[in-house]
Structure 1
């Protein structure tokens, strides 16, 4: 999934903070007095809150009647809503360690007071959400899928043999009805014909599955995810958008962890994309942002203690000589290092960036996994399908690192760190729901269970805020 171009008209600018920074608390003590609303402004603000809390995937009650105390509470509710829409609903305590992104600190009171003074409350509201078309696509998808839920959702398809071309019967009828909820081009009746094959393929592409046109176990499971779960999935992804800075660097690298895809942006335009292998459940690839500062050619692998203890020492014990056969040496009696070369788990390229999780992008001698549609198999680092292409792109323009110089260094087998003349921002993100250019929603599995966890935290924070408001 590609992040869209940021609109030049984005009105809200915030300064991103490092992962260690504290998120602004849900309830902040105002630094200036609450602005006093006119009758018309109070009615307008109440209407905006009522409409926008659902649209933004949040929940909030508007106090009634609108006496003086209720108006002050309405202002506090508006400020709380502004923080949630602009910088996320979560508090610092809600973030897991491997959710290494943090939203910018945001105090909505000065902007709101100015909007009241100039009678521009609606414009202030409109400028609160993240200024990305990707967020707007999710917002539209949220409205659509809430409508699907309100209409009764969809029924789960019964289990049975795989369905493909020529199949008939009640399960094909049920399949057509199920697909038609999300795909208006699907007719309600008919056998499993060529048009239905294409409809199944469209659905499989939306779910990140191999587009075979045959409904087997994985496709059935994706179709049977309830519409209510899809709503919560969209809400979770909207929250993650709020954790990003208001202005993403125009030159950057992004990895969608859930989809296991890397994309390079040059001047805010995607110029390279490749498959990746990301962390398997239990060895999750963290969400984070950093800066790639160098490419290591022919990198040795300093084996993490956990991997050495759980996986490699048992192999040596079971088959003496395993270390020697695979290029490992023991350092200080305990630490393992695998020498650079064709056997190295890091391959011939490693892309370094500072982070608290000791992860990086790298090559791999194991290429088979890139052909799979499910590519969560690493210990947390990100393996790349085309690392040589990425290295050449990042080092382009450096006279010391022409493609020929890179190839010559690789061939010599020497370990060399090539510093980037222009470091490049890198974002490891977890997108499981996103809209295509035509507005069609796409979903991926939630392999780490982060969607469900995040949606529950959003709901809990919204509920606690509602109780506090009362």
Structure 2
């Protein structure tokens, strides 16, 4: 028997607006896409003629600024964060009916302070770009206290563009200039030595237009997040290699992490930590085994507690639990299609580095023990002494988190963000995702602008 098809939900047509409402929307839309980072410049602004075209432009803008400009086909496989489906028509129709279009318009962007900070930063860096940006600092010997000459003067002028406390005159590198360099290095996530060498010079020489696009890309990623983040969550900034624990929507703990090196990117995703594995074995991915471990020979594998399982083409490698295990003593599991997780590591030296993109894609943690205790603190069977006792036995044990203690985890790629005082901070774009995303945003904006005409 042929089953009947389910009923198709009726398509709700957009509402009809008055001439006054059309004029109001036209004014609201005039620079909105520019201000929200949907275009790098004004060239792709939609040309609207007639009320229907205004409504189409308003609904297109609403979708873009609320849940992202990208089409599904624009997402890369490792961009696992995807915005929820959003239909702007019902709220728009209500706003038209009650003549509250301006309030509806203001409600569209993501309701996060992080997004607001980026929007303000975008306006500032657009002004900097429009004024000519900054001059490239010439290469040369490292600059430090005591240095003199034209390059020091050029450094002062460059720093002053982003830091109003820097004096623009003077050819001597003094203590005040060193402090300004330290502030800049902190803004760029560099080692704050006060010495201007290769990395600092490279960060200062990124063009202002590239910083605008970087902010645009990060604003788009905010649009992929849910309308309300869980008050209890763990966030990893992949680009900065930092993990932060939130409770009551406030950060309560933070630690350094090691994230994927370029070529072994840590994916963006959201999931929920459901269990902690004590003394975990490492089931080595086939690609890593073939490229990095099998060529080292049986003696190396035995010395590092690796076990070969199976024979022939189907053989694989598992590293047994213990002090040499690449996963250390803790593994934090959450469902995801990338086979990544948070884990301990016996290799602690990398945490002292400012560049901590060095893993195969998983996230290594500086302080996994305190994190495990924090997640298990409400379970009477798994207080710190019990965790230590189980860990010391050396046996692999999976500890399920109680349903109410399972915590959301977000792996995010933040390379631009505003500090509490509004100062913009930037990180490198190690995966090249910023430039790729900014180009996709502009391409989609140009396509929709043409379609709206």
Q: What range describes the TM-score normalised by the shorter chain of this pair? A: over 0.9
Match of 2:370 among 366, 383, 389: 389
Residue equivalent to 2:60: 80
Q: What CA distance in whole angstroms lies between the structure 2 residues aligned with 1:336 and 1:148?
A: 54
Q: What CA distance in whole angstroms lies between the structure 1 residues aligned with 2:251 and 2:116?
A: 19
By how many angstroms is 1:310 displaced?
Answer: 0.5
Count of aligned residue pairs for this structure pair? 435
Q: Does 1:131 align with 2:111?
A: yes
Q: Does 1:39 align with 2:19?
A: yes
By how many angstroms is 1:114 displaced?
Answer: 1.0
C-alpha contact (below 8 Å) 1:46/1:62 kept by paired residues: no
C-alpha contact (below 8 Å) 1:34/1:72 kept by paired residues: no
Q: Does 1:270 align with 2:251?
A: yes
Task: Show the 5 A alignment for 1:163-174.
Answer: 163-174=143-154
Match of 2:179 among 198, 201, 215: 198
By how many angstroms is 1:51 displaced?
Answer: 2.5
Q: What CA distance in whole angstroms lies between the structure 1 residues aligned with 2:228 and 2:10?
A: 27
C-alpha contact (below 8 Å) 2:19/2:51 kept by paired residues: no
By how many angstroms is 1:121 displaced?
Answer: 0.6
Q: What CA distance in whole angstroms lies between the structure 1 residues aligned with 2:410 and 2:15?
A: 39
Q: What CA distance in whole angstroms lies between the structure 2 residues aligned with 1:358 and 1:179?
A: 43
C-alpha contact (below 8 Å) 1:232/1:452 kept by paired residues: yes
By how many angstroms is 1:41 displaced?
Answer: 1.1
- TM-score when normalising by structure 1: 0.91
Unmatched 5+ stretches in structure 2: 1-8
Residue equivalent to 2:102: 122
Match of 1:61 among 45, 68, 81: 45
Question: Equivalent residue of 1:154, what SS?
Answer: coil
Q: Does 1:435 align with 2:418?
A: yes
Q: What CA distance in whole angstroms lies between the structure 2 residues aligned with 1:293 and 1:394?
A: 10
C-alpha contact (below 8 Å) 1:63/1:74 kept by paired residues: no
Task: Show the 5 A alignment for 1:48-447.
Answer: 48-59=28-39, 61-64=45-48, 66=49, 70-190=50-170, 191-316=172-297, 320-333=298-311, 334-421=315-402, 422-447=405-430
By how many angstroms is 1:53 displaced?
Answer: 1.2
Question: Equivalent residue of 2:235, what SS?
Answer: strand
C-alpha contact (below 8 Å) 1:276/1:375 kept by paired residues: yes
Q: What CA distance in whole angstroms lies between the structure 2 residues aligned with 1:324 and 1:37?
A: 75
Q: What CA distance in whole angstroms lies between the structure 2 residues aligned with 1:234 and 1:53?
A: 14
Question: Equivalent residue of 1:131, what SS?
Answer: coil
C-alpha distance 128-30 of structure 1, shift in aligned 2 (>3 A): farther
Deviation track 1:10-35 (CA, whole Å, cap 9, x = no partner) reads xxxxxxxxxxxxxxxxxxx9922332
Q: What CA distance in whole angstroms lies between the structure 2 residues aligned with 1:415 and 1:428?
A: 26
Q: What CA distance in whole angstroms lies between the structure 2 residues aligned with 1:461 and 1:49?
A: 17
By how many angstroms is 1:62 displaced?
Answer: 4.1
C-alpha contact (below 8 Å) 1:30/1:109 kept by paired residues: no
C-alpha contact (below 8 Å) 1:102/1:243 kept by paired residues: yes
By how many angstroms is 1:397 displaced?
Answer: 1.8
Unmatched 5+ stretches in structure 1: 1-28
Q: What CA distance in whole angstroms lies between the structure 1 residues aligned with 2:46 and 2:28?
A: 10
Match of 1:452 among 424, 430, 435: 435
C-alpha contact (below 8 Å) 2:306/2:320 kept by paired residues: yes
- TM-score when normalising by structure 2: 0.95
Deviation track 1:147-171 (CA, whole Å, cap 9, x = no partner) reads 0011000000000000000111100
Q: What CA distance in whole angstroms lies between the structure 1 residues aligned with 2:252 and 2:91?
A: 38
Question: Equivalent residue of 2:201, what SS?
Answer: helix
Q: What CA distance in whole angstroms lies between the structure 2 residues aligned with 1:34 and 1:285?
A: 41
RMSD of equivalent CA atoms: 1.1
